[in-house]
Amino acid sequence: MFAKVGIALACATALSIAAPIRAENPQHVQRLIQTGACSGCDLTGADLKELHALGADLRDADLTGANLTGANLEGADLTGAILKDTNLSGINLTNASLDRANLTNANLSSARLYNAETFGAILTGINIQNAEVYGSGIAAGGEY
């Protein structure tokens, strides 16, 4: 009897370790979707694919590992945001502020970055393949 319980417990533990962990705060995700304002929010690993949030306030938000594929954040304020390992492919960041944002290893492939502000941003390891970048501090072939 105890052996069966021990085996079941070991299997359940192994499955819970292998399952992906979503760490975003659900209330923060709802606040962003409903109001477009979520300064300082925990959106780690959130699925925000195709989010439409023009002028969103995401200052100092943690979006580590989030999926923002195809999102429209035109005019958004991402000052100081953490965007490490974030999927930003196909995103529209026209006139957005990425000042002091951490974009380490972010995927910006096919993104639109027209006049995006990047003063003091960490751009190490970003993917800008097929991105449209104009009037921004992001450039291929070197660090900003």
Q: Read off the pLDDT of residues 125-135 as tens digits, 9 standing for 90 and up.
A: 999 999 999 99
Q: Would 120 be classed as within a structural domain?
A: yes
Compute the distance between CA of residue 72 and CA of residue 31 in angstroms, rounded to an integer. 17
Instruction: Answer yes or no: is 17 within a domain.
Output: no
- Please tell me the total count of domains within the chain: 1
| 3-state helix, strand and coil shares in percent for the chain, rounded to the nearest 5 | 20, 15, 65
Average pLDDT over every residue of 50-60: 97
CATH (domain of 105) = 2.160.20.80
5 found inside a domain = no
The pTM for the full model equals 0.81
Residue 15 has pLDDT above 70, yes or no: no
Task: Identify whether 2 is part of a domain.
Answer: no
16-20, 72-76, 102-106, 107-111 — which is least confidently predicted? 16-20
Q: What is the pLDDT of residue 23?
A: 62
Q: Has residue 8 been placed in a domain?
A: no
Residue 131 lies in a domain: yes
CA triple 45-50-56, angle to 5 deg: 80
Domain around 55? 24-144
Whether 133 is in a domain gets the answer yes
